[in-house]
């Protein structure tokens, strides 16, 4: 009896692990960003176009946002204003203004 309970628990744990991954082993995609967040990202891309070319050339997506955040002291006022409307990454406090 105890052995069958152990096998049952192990099988359920394995099933949960398998279900949480995609066939190629990567994590399942998260929900798409909200319309509001997409609008904020578009505003950042527009306001920061010159800054992106000068401070973060060739960077895309997450790497681009991290580059802009790490170069905040070199960005234009309009770009910094647009960036301030983005949500902060988890575990990171908003910069003092």
Per-residue pLDDT tens over the stretch 43-68: 999 999 999 999 999 999 889 999 99
Give the pLDDT band of residue 11 (cuts 50, 70, 90): low
Average pLDDT, the chain: 78
User: Number of structural domains, the chain?
Assistant: 1
Residue 55 lies in a domain: yes
Assigned token pair, 60: 């895309």
Residue 58 lies in a domain: yes
Identify how many contiguous H helices and E strands the chain contains and give both numbers.
5, 0
CA distances from 30 to 6, 45, 49, 85 (A): 33, 22, 27, 21
Q: Which domain holds residue 80?
A: 33-86
């Amino acid at each position: 009896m105890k052995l069958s309970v152990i096998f049952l628990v192990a099988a359920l744990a394995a099933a949960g692990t398998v279900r949480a991954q995609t066939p190629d082993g990567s994590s399942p995609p998260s929900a798409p960003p909200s319309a509001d967040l997409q609008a904020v990202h578009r505003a950042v891309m527009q306001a920061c176009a010159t800054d992106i070319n000068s401070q973060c050339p060739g960077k895309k997506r997450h790497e681009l946002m991290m580059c802009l955040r790490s170069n905040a002291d070199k960005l234009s006022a309009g770009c910094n204003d647009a960036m301030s409307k983005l949500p902060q990454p988890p575990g990171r406090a908003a910069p003092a203004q």
